[in-house]
Structure 1
Amino acid sequence: MDIEQFVAQSIGEWRSMRSGHSLAFQQFEDVLSEISIKEFIDDTNQLRELIKASSQPNESHYISPFSMEWCAESDWEPDDPSEVSSGSCIILPIPKDEQSGKLLRSVGYAESVAAESEYRFLDDGTFILKTHYDQSIAEERIWFVSDHVRCRSSVLKTSEGSGILQASFASEVRKISV
């Protein structure tokens, strides 16, 4: 597996069921999400700005940019249980070699700020993503069980990496058009 194959296999509409354990709040959460992953071919200026705002050199070679939109409904919303969370981001892979590289995101996973992650692939095709934020460190694993089913696990740690704040697991099923 390389980043081009991973992105190509991820393109589509997904239904996600995630279970999260918040150790900080001693809370369990179920989240149902609709996720849309598309090739990003719209605006190369946005991609250049994403690189410019990162620690990567301006002439960085990127491949397979994509966008992601999500809409999530959680069973644990302290203020309003019917509240729906949604968002979108642009994701830009910058390979270092065939198995690893950087991933630039216009909006991060754990914190709603631009993020720069390190990625690598294990021999079995599992995608490993590690992101250092101001307040935390997110470690994610994504692997395909079949062409239309993938799994994702994540661990959110303190910024020093000494404590675990949250752990989650998601199964994601591609919507098939007929």
Structure 2
Amino acid sequence: MNIEQFVAQSEGTWRSMRSGHSLAFQQFEEVLSEVQISRIDASDQEINDLIQSSSLSERSEVAAPFRMTWAAESDWEPDDPNEVSSGSCLIVPIPSDDSQGVLLRSVGYAEAAPAESSYSFLSDGTFLLTTQYEQSIAEERIWFVSEHVRCRSSVLRTSAGSGVLQTSFASEVRRLSS
């Protein structure tokens, strides 16, 4: 699998059910989300802005940029468990070859700041994403069980990589138009 195939297979609206375990806070969280993944034009000005704000020195070859938006309900919201958390993120893959590259994100997974990640594909097609933040390292895996079902897992470690802060697993089902 390459990044273009992965993004094409990921496009659409997904209903996600995620379970997370915060080892740091010794709490368990259940999150129901709707996630929308849609391709955007590679010439979009937001892409240029994101690349220029990154550590990349020049405009690299962009492949299959997309926007991910989400709306999530968590049972971990102490004030209002029915509160909906939502957001949007621009994601710009920059492949170095067919199976690996860099992924620029306008908002990171573990920290709400722009992030640069390295990605690769395992031999079974699993997408592996690693992001080094100031205080932590996030490792995410996404794999397709079938055309309309995919799974995600993540592990958030200390920046030294020695301690596990949080783990999660999500199953996601694509919403099909009737």
What TM-score comes out, normalization by structure 1 length?
0.97
Give the C-alpha shift of residue 43 in structure 1. 6.0
Q: How many residues align?
A: 178
2:14·2:174 contact (CA, 8 Å) conserved in 1?
Answer: yes
Q: Distance in 2 between matches of 1:97 and 1:43?
A: 21
Moved beyond 4 Å, runs of 4+: none
2:51 maps to which residue?
A: 51
2:17·2:30 contact (CA, 8 Å) conserved in 1?
Answer: yes
Per-residue CA shift, 1:32-69, capped at 9, x if unaligned?
00000001128621111111111113221111000000
Moved more, 88-97 or 70-79: 70-79
Amino acid at match of 1:82: N
2:163 maps to which residue?
A: 163
Give the C-alpha shift of residue 95 in structure 1. 0.2
Question: Secondary structure of 1:96's match?
Answer: strand
Determine if the alignment matches structure 1 residue 8 to structure 2 residue 8: yes
1:40·1:90 contact (CA, 8 Å) conserved in 2?
Answer: no
Amino acid at match of 1:64: A
Give the C-alpha shift of residue 134 in structure 1. 1.4
Amino acid at match of 2:17: M
Q: Distance in 2 between matches of 1:70 and 1:43?
A: 24
Identity %: 68
Question: Secondary structure of 2:70's match?
Answer: strand
> Structure 1 12/45 Cα, relative in aligned 2: closer, same or farther at 3 Å?
same
Give the C-alpha shift of residue 29 in structure 1. 0.7
Give the C-alpha shift of residue 94 in structure 1. 0.2
Question: Secondary structure of 1:36's match?
Answer: strand
Per-residue CA shift, 1:62-121, capped at 9, x if unaligned?
110000000000111122212111100100000001100000000111110000000000
Amino acid at match of 2:131: T
For structure 1, the 5+ residue unaligned runs are: none
What TM-score comes out, normalization by structure 2 length?
0.97
> Structure 1 111/51 Cα, relative in aligned 2: closer, same or farther at 3 Å?
same
Per-residue CA shift, 1:138-175, capped at 9, x if unaligned?
00000000000000000011121111110000000000
Give the C-alpha shift of residue 22 in structure 1. 0.5
For structure 2, the 5+ residue unaligned runs are: none
Amino acid at match of 2:64: S
Give runs of aligned pairs for residues 100-115 of structure 1, distance below 5 A.
100-115=100-115
Output the aligned Cα RMSD.
1.1
Q: Distance in 2 between matches of 1:147 and 1:44?
A: 29
1:36 maps to which residue?
A: 36
Q: Distance in 2 between matches of 1:78 and 1:8?
A: 37
Question: Secondary structure of 2:97's match?
Answer: coil
